[in-house]
Amino acid sequence: MGEKQQFEVWKEDMEPVLVSKVEEFHMLGYDKATKDEIWRCVTERLHKKKAYVPFYTFTDELLNLKVSVYMTWLTVASYKEPEDWFADFEQADQKK
């Protein structure tokens, strides 16, 4: 049986890398990229692996995250999240 992943324990240590990755994405024109989204993207991808992921592999994965992978993850995540698309319109109608 594999060891439990410790991604949340590493988050503070990875702060400079996250800031660097956000700045990189912003320079490439993806101004809405955030540290939390990038963190979730990488951790969700690595949670799928069956084997234990060491710190250096996690760091490598984060440093090598491509914009295309991030945008694909965002797209899939937006389809998975249950959103009520018409809630904003209904609230606006109720205020009138």
**Domain hosting residue 51, numbered range:** 7-95
Q: Are 45 and 65 in contact (CB under 8 A)?
A: no
In a domain? residue 2:
no
DSSP 7-18: HHHHTTTTHHHH
In a domain? residue 1:
no
Counted domains in the chain: 1
pLDDT tens figures, 1-47: 455 667 888 899 999 999 999 999 999 999 999 999 999 999 999 98
pLDDT tens figures, 39-96: 999 999 998 887 888 899 999 999 999 999 999 999 998 888 766 656 656 665 566 5
